[in-house]
Chains A and B, each alone.
Chain A
Amino acid sequence: MYIGRRLVLSVFVLLGLSIFIFTLSRVIPGDPARLSLGPMAPQWAVDQLRERLHLNEPLPVQYVIWLTNAIHGDFGESIVTKRPVILDVITFFPASLELVLLSTIVSTVLAIVIGAISGRRANSWFDNAFRLFSYIGIAVPTFVWAIMALFLFGYVWKILPTMGQLSTNIAPPPTITGMMGLDALLTGNITAFLDHFRYMLMPAFAMSIGRIAQEARILRSGFIENLKKDYITAEVSYGIPERSITFKYLMKPSLIPMISILGMDIAASMGGSFIIETIFNWPGFGRYGMWAMLNKDLNAIIAVVVIIGAFFAISNIVVDLIIASVDPRIRMMERGA
């Protein structure tokens, strides 16, 4: 089956990625054990740690040991937090997921609305303004958007908070899912939810802008392409109302390329979260990964790279499945073939 092949391929690619990053981490100068214990630790302690971490074995052996541990969820211990990496991942991942979800919902809705209007009314003032905005939106780096947002909404017009997840005078909700907003809703704590939502706005906004620009652009070109097609002309001459044409007959085929970009964009958001979470001090996976990288926390770096790779692969496969089920042309092709 198609999915089976994709999954197997993804596993191979992930293995290759892990080999690459693992080898890199072991061939660079510097002793991981010494890094972990610090410069003041006695040499015998460092040697003992080297033995325990199997650092004196040949490289392939080290990799196999790492792999067997990783399959069981053991990615080693973090130098920075001194806890098992997998524990750190579980703690921090939901916060990032929350941001990615909010930014995905907002950017998808906005992209569909803006892209549809632009596509329908090509070359109108709205469309031209949007096209200019989309160029800027795609070209400007995420961290520049984040800083601009911080500057404008946090300092010039002091309407949004700049750091963290919750105001200091509000008690945080209990950790059920790890996503603070969801936890607040589940326990009925509306004050905390609203407060937390204010903190989410800027990071999610910074994450969304590039995506809105790109996705709306693709929807727009989909609309323009499909508007030229014969079936639209037939529908107009039948007298089918314009609203019906736009939402029913134009939207679906134009959405398909946008959905495939959506998958890549969700994964790219995980990459952008590294920068955004660091700037806004949001306790998520991205900030953890950034700390790990700045502190040469090798175990955590390898784990972060592999986990993001897995996330990327899964979201691509899921998006392909969605497209295959939504697009009747693909279903017909498979049936016909």
Chain B
Amino acid sequence: MTEERKRNLKRSWLKFGSNPLSVLGLVSVLLVVFLAVFSPWVAPHPESWAKWVDFKNALLAPSWDHPFGTDVFGRDILSRVFFGFRYDLLMAVSILVLVVPLGTVIGLIAGYYRGSLLDTVIMRITDIFLAIPSIVLALAICAMLEPTLFNSMMAVSVLWWPWYTRLAYGIASSLKNEYFVQAAELTGASTPHILFREILPNCISPIFTKMTLDVGWVILIGSTLSFVGLGAQEPIPALGTMVAAGTKYMPDYWWMTIFPAIAIAFTILGFNLLGDGLRDLLAVEEI
């Protein structure tokens, strides 16, 4: 790595670290990711994640052995929360991996050909998906399909791509009259080259920042969907499903609901703080 890059990296790190909230976000996110990836080895009762019954230990209050208590089947809630991180993160990553490339490419094309019929058509289609609150559309789509984790992922993907299209569209249409783009056109560069080697690199920072923030929002919608029963079903330990399952036992066995709820809030908060920190660091104004 060159000296300059090393210096830039150090400067970025110092700038990022100057905001305690951003560092808190980074630490939280790293914790959640670590727990998600290593849950089978880190969880105190790894067998609790799926079909497992141990009625002798059912509905125990939080204790040293079960810091988050046990649920109605005797499964350790702390371990299930760790595995729950897995599912929620998996959902977020899958959705974003699908949505970000697709939405960005469509937005780049629409922005580059701004003013044409293609642009109008694409933008009106994105308007349709932004016409109602995302949660309502997600609920409606999930309601029509079988309630599974996969289907809820599909539903959220379908309504998430317009955000990236808009983002890329804004950047592409503002850049298309810049000199470097015109120079590329004049030297006969092909359109894919212009889109991907000239315009796209300018989008990386906003897209990356938005992706980080979006992990939080996707988890929010995903957990809401599982909470109402239209997402992951039992025995999959999605955090929203766990909260819903616990509401029947409120208020006496409050730990079944409260701890997964706090876990959800913690995850979303972490990604939000990290995303805000990245936004400040990369000086992104577009989002």
Contacts and interface: CB of A to CB of B under 8 A. Distances in A.
Interface of A: 9, 12-14, 16-17, 20-21, 24-25, 28, 135-136, 138-144, 147-148, 150-151, 154-156, 267-268, 270-272, 274-275, 278-279, 289-290, 292-294, 296, 298, 301, 304-305, 308-309, 312-313
A142 B224 contact: yes
Nearest to B251: A155
A309 B135 contact: no
B113 interface: no
B27 interface: no
Contact of A13 (B127, B135, B142, B261): B127
Contacts of B243: 143-144, 147
Contacts of B117: none
A139 B216 contact: yes
Given A136-B269, A144-B264, A271 B144 contact: no
A151 B131 contact: no
B157 interface: no
A271 B265 contact: no
A305 B140 contact: yes
Nearest to A306: B132
B264 A20 contact: no
B268 A141 contact: yes
Interface of B: 21, 124-125, 127-128, 131-137, 139-145, 216, 220, 223-224, 227-230, 240, 243, 247, 250-251, 254, 257-258, 261, 264-265, 268-269, 272-273
Given A16-B125, A294-B228, A308-B132, A147 B251 contact: no
- Chain A CB within 10 A, most for which of B144, B224, B227: B144
B140 A301 contact: yes
Contacts of A274: 135-136, 139, 228
Contact of B272 (A135, A154, A155): A135
A17 B132 contact: yes
A138 B272 contact: yes
Contact of B257 (A136, A147, A272): A147
A272 B135 contact: yes
Given A17-B128, A135-B21, 12 more contacts: A12-B124, A13-B124, A17-B132, A139-B272, A140-B264, A142-B224, A151-B250, A267-B133, A271-B135, A272-B133, A301-B140, A309-B131
B117 to A, nearest CB: 15
Given A139-B216, A294-B230, A151 B132 contact: no
Given A12-B124, A138-B272, A144-B265, A24 B144 contact: yes
A141 B254 contact: no
18 contacts: A13-B128, A13-B131, A17-B132, A25-B144, A143-B223, A143-B224, A151-B258, A270-B133, A274-B228, A293-B139, A293-B142, A293-B228, A294-B230, A305-B136, A305-B140, A308-B133, A308-B136, A309-B132
A144 B54 CA distance: 28
B232 to A, nearest CB: 15
Contacts of B230: 293-294
Contacts of A272: 133, 135
Given A155-B250, A270-B133, A294-B143, A140 B265 contact: yes
Nearest to A12: B124
Contacts of B21: 135
B273 to A, nearest CB: 6
Smallest CB-CB A-B distances: 4 pairs: A271-B133, A293-B143, A155-B251, A139-B269
B224 A296 contact: no
Contact of A271 (B132, B145, B258, B268): B132
A22 to B, nearest CB: 11
A312 B261 contact: no
A17 B125 CA distance: 9
